[in-house]
Amino acid sequence: MIDLRSDTVTRPSRAMRDAMVHAPVGDDVYGEDPTVNRLQELAAALLGKAGALYVPSGTMANQVSIRVHTQPGREVIVESAAHIVRYEQGAAAALAGVQLHWVSGKRGLMTPEAIEAAIRPKDPHSIQTALICIENTHNSGGGSIYPLETIARIRALAQQHGIPMHLDGARLFNAVVATGVPASDYAKHFETVSVCLSKGLGAPVGSLIATNDEHLLQGLRRYRRMYGGAMRQAGIVAAAGIFALEHNIARLKEDHDRAQRLARILCAIPSVSLEPAHVETNIIIFEIHDARRTSSEIVASLKEAGVLINAIGGHRFRAVTHLDIEEHDIEEAGRIFTAVLNSPSNV
């Protein structure tokens, strides 16, 4: 089966598992797990921040960050299709007590003008804007990348209004590899930056939040505890994270090249609509217009032929390249897409 549903489906390699087996460990709630500490230092250095905190998931990374920057009754500006909006079970409202102010972006990217319009006035009637969240790359936007220049303009606005910024950088390293912009150049515009180890980087578990502010870091650690994410001998999984950061960043370029190759194959299928130039990293969002089949029937036919993808609503589908997808898998997937999508529905 060629599994293109997500870059979360990767399994730890032999070498990564070896690193896990041999990791020295301690109790991380006491701050005594040497492997967790090493992972946090490595991530902080990569992101150009003073410190970082290891958390079990990207969702927790976003949620403890939102919690630390806000108070109940405040508002958070976020893109309307962001992970924070769609895939975190309403945690910002349920756990931090904040209201999300959705700003629509083109392929997930908000303009500084739209953000400026969403910042609330500081009058006594108005709810107060407490935080701006940006997602880079943007998952539902099709792995789209914020130009650094746009981020800098948003930052200038935020500073003018005294509003902190959080970066949901679950796939920040995809943006880094695609643009050549160092991670720290993106990160410097944000008070908190989260990155996922369990997406394209191939670790089984874990995310990190980096910050320059020791006070914020203490707050993040307390909320991690509150949210149930403080772990003990977490070095076993942190070791996989170190391995991921040391070995699997540069190779993301292969995922991008393969996504581009697959996009070009898909483009040639008459029922598919897709702009290959919109495939900036490892995520391909495309439409299939096939009056004979529903989207779940299309997914089922592809599965039967050996390819897994996700239907994401309407005529839209998502395919994602990752560590466990080789060049020959792309060629094979291309043949399967072409055969299945060009065939009548009853075969």
Ligand X SMILES: *Cc1c(COP(=O)(O)O)cnc(C)c1O
- The site for ligand X (CB under 6 A) is made up of 57-59, 62, 83, 135, 139, 168, 170, 196, 198-199, 207
Distance CA 136, CA 146 (A): 6
Least separation in angstroms between residue 341's CB and ligand X is 26
**Do the Cβ atoms of 86 and 138 come closer than 8 Å?**
no
For the bound state, the minimum distance from the C-beta of residue 30 to ligand X, rounded and expressed in Å, comes to 25
307 alpha-carbon distance from chain centroid: 23
> What would the two tokens of residue 127 be?
């709810």
| 246 token code pair | 């040391």
CB-based contact 84:62 (threshold 8 Å) = yes
**β-pairing verdict for 99-103 and 75-79:** parallel
Q: Rounded to an integer, what distance in angstroms lies between the CA atom of residue 105 and that of residue 276?
A: 19
Query: Which of 165, 336 has the CB closer to ligand X?
Result: 165
**Residue 197 vs 341, nearer CB to ligand X:** 197
- Provide, rounded to whole angstroms, the least separation between the CB of residue 213 and ligand X: 22
Decide whether 57 or 111 has the Cβ nearer to ligand X.
Answer: 57
Burial of 30 (0-12, 13-18, 19+ CB in 10 A): exposed
Nearer to ligand X, 55 or 298 (CB): 55
CA angle 159, 165, 169 (to 5 degrees): 145
> Which residue number is nearest to ligand X in terms of Cβ?
58
**Helix, strand or coil, per DSSP, at residue 98:** coil
Output the smallest distance, CB 325 to ligand X, in A.
17
In the complex with ligand X, the residue whose CB is nearer, 166 or 221, is 166
| Crossing angle of helices 235-247 and 14-21, rounded to 10° | 140
- Whose Cβ is closer to ligand X: residue 206's or residue 235's? 206
Between CA 270 and CA 278, with CA 272 as vertex, the angle to 5 degrees is: 130
Q: Does the CA dihedral 233-235-241-245 come out positive or negative?
A: positive
109 vs 196, which CB is nearer to ligand X?
A: 196
Q: Minimal distance in Å, beta carbon 143 to ligand X?
A: 9
Shortest reach from residue 144's CB to ligand X, in Å? 11
